[in-house]
A and B are shown apart, each in its own frame.
Chain A
């Protein structure tokens, strides 16, 4: 089993749609969770952290389910500019000293006009 798993997609949605991505992780001791966005041939950039209570940033909502060991990202009112690959990231060892952030392979979103 992969340490961090994501459905690679692609997810093809029309503008204005709501889309959700899930990510599962294998290490129950993981403490930190993030979503990154990566445009084609570019470096990943932090989209948002994921907190236990869930958190929202504009059209984006992230949630964490520790019991089931999954993270989700919800995008409302999709824009063409949301087209990208979304990477789920987990600190596998729960220790900031080791800093081993593990990336999922990413879920590709394509928003169509």
Chain B
């Protein structure tokens, strides 16, 4: 069966520090992968999606970037975090019938 791993679960970072969140999927090949962010009290915002290695689509201009160095690995990065980058970050892969399956999320607090 397919599983998705996302880490860390919680992260506290100072403003201006770099960021790297990693997500890996097991049990499937060439998945469509996604990064979402959920700010406090708000809905999920699609940040990036990828349909294959090295293929990244960005949905909104922001201080973040994404990379997909391997088929089942999706990385979210930032060179310098802003206060506004705080939020709950979720990685997801798309299964059959366009259903999304999420990792357990990373709660990022930028101070």
CB atoms of B42 and A43 under 8 A apart: no
Give A92's nearest chain B residue, CB to CB. Answer: B46
In the complex, how many residue pairs between chain A and chain B have their CB atoms under 8 Å apart?
A: 54
Which among B61-69, B76-84, B91-99 touches the partner chain?
B91-99
CB atoms of A49 and B99 under 8 A apart: yes
A100 touches B (CB below 8 Å): yes
Inside 8 A of A87's CB, which chain B residues have their CB? 43-44
Inside 8 A of A43's CB, which chain B residues have their CB? 90, 102-105
B24 touches A (CB below 8 Å): no
A14 touches B (CB below 8 Å): no
Instruction: List 18 A-B residue pairs with CB atoms under 8 Å apart, sorted by A's residue number.
Output: A4-B43, A34-B99, A41-B88, A42-B104, A43-B102, A43-B103, A43-B104, A44-B100, A46-B99, A46-B101, A96-B98, A100-B46, A100-B49, A101-B98, A103-B36, A103-B43, A103-B44, A105-B42
